[in-house]
C-alpha cells in the first residue's frame, strides 16, 4: 500500500504538471495538501478505508484532492494525473533539478522543442535551440547547460558504498571535537539503504555553535550550504551533501531514533505511543495522560525517556529495533510479539565464495587474492573466474581447457598459503554464464570437476518477467549449480536488470538446495533487501559474496551483510557464515 510520502509525491507531481501547463491556483493547493499529507501522523491508507470525508479532514486537503487520494489507494491510479502525464510526458523531477528550470520552463521547452529529459535538454542547449525560444536567450541557455552536469549528479542518489564511508568519516571527525559528547550517523545511511540522498550526522553537545564552526572547517568540505546555531549543511568535493544537527545530550537518544527514521516507522511508533497516552518526538518520550492538549508544545507532559535510543523503545515496552529493520514492514509487530530476528552480523562471516583473479578480469593473481582473503580474516576463499560467454567484460571469460589449466595455479597458491603459515582453505570454482534460455556456458563435465559453481546472468538482461524467471529457475535447478550469482544482474543507478518472480526463485532454490547470492558489491547489492526477505521466508540459503576483483574488495562484505540484515536474515540463513566443513557439506 502507498505510504504518506508516496501520496505526497504524487500530489507534488500533479502540482508541477499543472504549473507547467500554466494552470492557476491549483498547483499551490496541491503543494499545500502534499505537505500536510506527508506529515500526517496516521497512514492515509487507513483514512482512505473510511472514505474521502475522512481524508478531507486533513488540513488543506479538500474534497477533490481527498477523492483522488482514495482512488489511488484503491486502484493505484489517479485518472487526472495519468492524463497530465500523457499530455506532458516529461521527467519533471530530473529537469527541475537543473538550477533555473522550473515547471513552467519545462512546459515551454516541451511545447517548443520537445524536451522530455536531461538528454534532450542538453542537446537543445548545445545546439543553441533554447535561445531561440521566446523569453529565453544566450545567457539563460548557457546557465542551463552549466547546470546539467551537476543536476545529473544531484538527481542520482549516492551509492551506499560511497555514502557510508563518508558518513563514518564525518561521524569520526565530530566525535573528535572537544565539545561533542557523542556522535552518530542517522537517516537512510544508518539504515544501510542501497542508495542515500544526503548524509545525516547527529552530535550531542551543549555548545552547538562550537560544533558547527568545527564541522564547517572539516577538510572534506568544499562548500557551506547553510549554517545556524545547532545545524549546518555542507557539500563535499564529490558533490555529496552532509547535514549536521546538534542536540542536547539529554535528548540525544530521542533525536537519534527520530532522525534515523524511516518516516513510516516513526509514524507507526508515534501511533503506538498515542495509544498509551504518550507523546513521542525528537526531544523525547512524554507522558501526556494528564495534559489537556498534548499538541500545545513538543516537550509537554512528564518526560519518561530520551537520553538513550533504547529507552525510547523501552518506554513503549519494545526492545531496541535494529536500524536496518525500521521500514514499517512488520518490525514493530515482531518487536511487540518478541519475534524479531537475531540478525546476521559482520563478524559471523567466515569466508567468500565469489572472487576473480587475473585469469579473467581481476586485478591480482590467485595467490595475491588468497593471501588478501587470509589477511582479511577469512577461513576460506573460492576463486571463481568468469567462464566464456555473452556479457563478460572484455571477452575475458575462460574456455573449458583454461579452467582445467587454472587448477595448477590454485594448487600453487595453496602451497604458498601453507608456506606463509596461513590456514585458509582455497577452493577452485567458476562463474559460468546463464544463457537466455537457462543453459550454462561451461560443459557439465568441467563443472563436475570444480569445488563450486556460480551461475550468473550477464546478458539478455532486458527479458520480460516470465522468461527471465524460467531462465533463472532452470539455472537454479541445474545439477551442477551451487549458487545463483547476482540473480537480477542489476547495476544500481546504471541498469535495472531482470525483474523475475522472486517467490518462484526462492522456492526453487530452497527445493534444489541452491544458494541465492547477495552480491556485496555496492553497485549491485543483488539480491536486494526485499528479495532477501522473500528468500528467508521460503527457507532458501543465502551466500554473501563480494565478487572481489582485488584483495581490498573483501572489505565490501559488510554491505552484503547489512543488505541481508535489511532482509531479516539470521546467521543460519547464510552459507558464508558457516565453517568450511559446513560449506563443503552444502556443496556436496
Angle ∠(276,280,286) on CA atoms, nearest 5: 70
At 97, is the pLDDT very low, low, confident or very high (cuts 50, 70, 90)?
A: confident
482/399 same-domain check: yes
Mean pLDDT score, 345-370: 96
493/385 same-domain check: yes
Distance CA 99, CA 153 (A): 13
Mean pLDDT of the chain: 93
Q: Which pLDDT score, from 0 to 100, does residue 451 have? A: 98
Residue where a domain terminates, one of 308, 337, 366: 337
The answer to whether 188 touches 197, Cβ cutoff 8 Å, is yes
How many CA atoms are closer than 13 Å to the CA of 200, on its beta-carbon side?
Answer: 18
238/297 same-domain check: no
Q: Which pLDDT score, from 0 to 100, does residue 148 have? A: 86
Range of the domain at 140: 4-155
Containing 242, the helix (H) or strand (E) segment is: strand 241-247
CATH number at residue 217: 3.30.460.10
146/164 same-domain check: no
447/580 same-domain check: yes
Mean pLDDT score, 365-393: 91
pLDDT tens-digit series, residues 189-199: 999 999 998 99
Q: Which residue has the higher pLDDT, 290 or 202?
A: 202
**Beta strand spans in 422-504 (E):** 425-433, 452-456, 483-484
143/174 same-domain check: no
The answer to whether 453 touches 432, Cβ cutoff 8 Å, is yes
Q: Which pLDDT score, from 0 to 100, does residue 69 have? A: 94
223/268 same-domain check: no
Picking from 111-120, 294-303, 358-367, which range would have the lowest pLDDT averaged per residue?
Answer: 294-303
Mean pLDDT is highest, among 9-18, 250-259, 287-296, for 250-259
At 392, is the pLDDT very low, low, confident or very high (cuts 50, 70, 90)?
A: low
Collect contacts of 324-327 with beta carbons under 8 A, ≥24 apart: 324/191, 324/192, 324/562, 324/565, 324/566, 325/565, 325/566, 325/568, 326/191, 326/260, 326/261, 326/262, 326/265, 327/191, 327/262, 327/264, 327/265, 327/566
At 390, is the pLDDT very low, low, confident or very high (cuts 50, 70, 90)?
A: confident
pLDDT tens-digit series, residues 434-486: 999 999 999 999 999 999 999 999 999 989 999 999 999 999 999 999 999 99
Distance CA 478, CA 513 (A): 11
233/282 same-domain check: no
pLDDT tens-digit series, residues 511-543: 999 999 999 999 999 999 999 999 999 999 999
Mean pLDDT score, 36-60: 86
Q: The C-alpha cell of 453 is what?
A: 559453481
Q: The C-alpha cell of 477 is what?
A: 535447478
Q: Which pLDDT score, from 0 to 100, does residue 395 have? A: 65
The answer to whether 49 touches 115, Cβ cutoff 8 Å, is no
Mean pLDDT score, 404-427: 94
Distance CA 117, CA 440 (A): 39
Please determine, for residue 282, whether its predicted confidence score (pLDDT) is greater than 90.
yes
pTM of structure: 0.76
Residue where a domain terminates, one of 107, 124, 155: 155
At 9, is the pLDDT very low, low, confident or very high (cuts 50, 70, 90)?
A: confident
**Percentage of the chain lying above the pLDDT 90 cut:** 79
Please determine, for residue 146, whether its predicted confidence score (pLDDT) is greater than 90.
no
Residue where a domain terminates, one of 280, 307, 337: 337
Q: Which pLDDT score, from 0 to 100, does residue 3 have? A: 67
At 99, is the pLDDT very low, low, confident or very high (cuts 50, 70, 90)?
A: confident
34/62 same-domain check: yes
Please determine, for residue 153, whether its predicted confidence score (pLDDT) is greater than 80.
no
CATH number at residue 311: 3.30.210.10
Rg (CA), the chain: 27
Distance CA 78, CA 66 (A): 11
Instruction: List, in sequence order, the alpha helices (H) in 276-337.
Output: 309-314, 331-337
Mean pLDDT is highest, among 17-21, 120-124, 421-425, 576-580, for 576-580
Q: The C-alpha cell of 45 is what?
A: 491508507
516: three-class secondary structure by DSSP = strand
222: three-class secondary structure by DSSP = strand
459/579 same-domain check: yes
Q: Which pLDDT score, from 0 to 100, does residue 132 have? A: 94
Q: Which pLDDT score, from 0 to 100, does residue 2 have? A: 62
Q: Which pLDDT score, from 0 to 100, does residue 46 have? A: 87
Q: Which pLDDT score, from 0 to 100, does residue 158 have? A: 87
CATH number at residue 32: 1.10.150.110
Chain-centre distance for alpha carbon 132? 42
Q: The C-alpha cell of 35 is what?
A: 505537505
Query: Which of the 8 DSSP states describes residue 32?
Result: H
Please determine, for residue 56, whether its predicted confidence score (pLDDT) is greater than 60.
yes
Picking from 17-31, 254-268, 274-288, which range would have the lowest pLDDT averaged per residue?
Answer: 17-31
How many CA atoms are closer than 13 Å to the CA of 579, on its beta-carbon side?
Answer: 2
Please determine, for residue 504, whether its predicted confidence score (pLDDT) is greater than 60.
yes
Q: Which pLDDT score, from 0 to 100, does residue 154 have? A: 57
Q: Which pLDDT score, from 0 to 100, does residue 393 have? A: 57
Distance CA 584, CA 587 (A): 5
Please determine, for residue 6, whether its predicted confidence score (pLDDT) is greater than 80.
no
* Phi and psi torsions of 221, nearest 5°: -85, 135
At 155, is the pLDDT very low, low, confident or very high (cuts 50, 70, 90)?
A: low
Mean pLDDT score, 131-137: 93
At 1, is the pLDDT very low, low, confident or very high (cuts 50, 70, 90)?
A: low
Q: Total domain count for the chain?
A: 4
CATH number at residue 457: 3.20.20.140
At 237, is the pLDDT very low, low, confident or very high (cuts 50, 70, 90)?
A: confident
The answer to whether 318 touches 547, Cβ cutoff 8 Å, is no
Distance CA 417, CA 426 (A): 9
176/104 same-domain check: no
Q: Which pLDDT score, from 0 to 100, does residue 462 have? A: 86
Angle ∠(536,540,545) on CA atoms, nearest 5: 90
The answer to whether 471 touches 436, Cβ cutoff 8 Å, is yes
Q: Which pLDDT score, from 0 to 100, does residue 496 have? A: 78
Mean pLDDT score, 334-342: 98
Q: Which pLDDT score, from 0 to 100, does residue 394 have? A: 55
Distances (CA, A) of 104 to 90, 96, 112: 12, 10, 12
316/445 same-domain check: no
Q: Which residue has the higher pLDDT, 515 or 98?
A: 515
Amino acid at each position: 500500500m502507498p505510504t504518506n510520502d508516496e501520496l505526497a509525491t504524487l500530489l507534488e507531481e500533479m502540482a508541477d504538471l499543472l504549473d507547467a501547463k500554466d494552470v492557476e491556483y491549483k498547483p499551490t493547493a496541491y503543494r499545500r495538501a502534499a505537505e500536510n499529507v506527508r506529515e500526517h501522523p496516521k497512514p492515509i491508507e487507513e483514512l482512505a478505508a473510511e472514505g474521502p470525508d475522512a481524508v478531507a479532514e486533513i488540513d488543506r486537503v479538500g474534497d477533490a484532492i481527498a477523492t483522488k487520494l482514495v482512488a489511488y489507494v484503491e486502484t493505484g491510479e489517479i485518472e487526472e494525473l495519468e492524463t497530465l502525464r500523457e499530455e506532458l510526458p516529461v521527467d519533471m523531477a530530473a529537469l527541475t533539478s537543473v538550477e533555473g528550470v522550473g515547471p513552467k520552463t519545462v512546459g515551454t521547452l516541451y511545447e517548443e522543442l520537445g524536451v522530455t529529459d536531461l538528454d534532450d535538454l542538453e542537446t537543445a542547449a548545445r545546439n543553441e535551440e533554447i535561445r531561440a525560444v521566446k523569453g529565453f536567450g544566450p545567457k539563460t541557455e548557457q546557465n542551463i547547460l552549466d547546470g546539467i552536469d551537476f543536476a545529473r549528479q544531484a538527481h542520482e542518489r549516492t551509492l551506499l558504498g560511497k555514502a557510508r564511508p563518508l558518513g563514518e568519516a564525518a561521524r569520526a571527525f565530530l566525535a573528535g571535537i572537544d565539545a561533542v559528547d557523542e556522535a552518530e550517523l542517522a537517516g537512510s545511511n544508518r539504515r544501510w539503504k542501497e542508495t542515500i540522498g544526503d548524509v545525516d550526522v547527529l552530535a550531542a553537545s551543549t555548545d552547538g555553535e562550537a560544533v558547527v564552526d568545527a564541522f564547517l572547517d572539516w577538510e572534506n568540505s568544499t562548500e557551506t550550504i547553510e549554517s545556524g546555531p545547532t545545524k549546518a549543511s555542507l557539500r563535499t568535493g564529490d558533490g555529496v551533501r552532509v547535514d549536521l544537527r546538534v542536540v542536547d545530550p539529554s535528548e540525544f537518544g530521542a533525536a537519534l531514533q527520530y532522525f534515523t527514521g524511516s518516516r513510516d516507522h516513526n509514524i507507526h511508533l508515534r501511533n503506538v505511543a498515542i495509544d498509551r497516552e504518550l507523546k513521542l518526538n525528537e526531544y523525547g518520550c512524554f507522558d501526556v495522560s494528564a495534559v489537556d492538549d498534548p499538541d500545545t508544545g513538543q516537550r509537554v507532559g512528564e518526560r519518561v525517556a530520551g537520553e538513550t535510543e533504547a529507552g525510547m523503545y523501552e518506554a513503549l515496552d519494545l526492545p531496541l529495533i535494529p536500524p536496518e529493520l525500521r521500514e514499517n514492514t512488520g518490525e514493530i509487530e515482531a518487536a511487540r510479539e518478541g519475534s524479531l530476528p537475531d540478525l546476521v552480523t559482520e563478524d559471523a562471516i567466515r569466508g567468500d565464495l565469489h572472487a576473480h583473479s587475473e585469469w579473467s578480469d581481476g586485478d591480482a593473481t590467485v595467490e595475491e587474492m588468497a593471501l588478501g582473503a587470509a589477511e582479511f580474516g577469512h577461513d576460506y576463499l573460492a576463486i571463481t573466474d568468469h567462464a566464456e560467454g555473452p556479457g563478460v567484460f572484455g571477452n575475458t571469460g575462460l574456455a573449458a581447457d583454461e579452467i582445467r589449466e587454472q587448477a595448477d595455479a590454485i594448487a600453487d597458491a595453496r602451497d604458498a598459503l601453507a608456506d606463509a603459515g596461513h590456514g585458509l582453505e582455497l577452493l577452485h570454482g567458476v562463474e559460468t554464464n546463464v544463457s537466455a534460455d537457462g543453459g550454462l556456458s561451461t560443459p557439465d563435465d568441467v563443472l563436475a570437476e570444480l569445488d563450486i559453481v556460480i551461475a550468473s546472468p550477464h546478458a539478455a538482461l532486458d527479458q520480460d518477467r516470465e522468461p527471465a524467471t524460467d531462465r533463472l529457475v532452470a539455472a537454479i535447478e541445474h545439477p551442477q549449480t551451487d549458487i545463483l550469482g547476482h540473480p537480477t544482474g542489476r547495476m544500481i543507478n546504471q541498469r535495472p536488470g531482470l525483474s523475475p518472480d522472486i517467490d518462484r526463485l526462492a522456492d526453487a532454490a530452497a527445493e534444489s538446495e541452491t544458494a541465492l547470492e547477495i552480491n556485496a558489491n555496492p553497485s549491485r547489492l543483488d539480491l536486494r533487501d526485499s528479495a532477501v526477505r522473500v528468500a528467508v521466508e521460503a527457507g532458501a540459503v543465502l551466500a554473501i559474496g563480494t565478487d572481489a576483483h582485488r584483495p581490498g574488495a573483501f572489505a565490501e562484505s559488510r554491505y552484503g551483510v547489512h543488505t541481508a540484515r535489511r532482509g531479516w536474515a539470521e546467521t543460519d540463513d547464510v552459507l558464508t557464515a558457516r565453517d568450511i566443513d559446513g560449506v563443503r557439506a552444502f556443496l556436496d
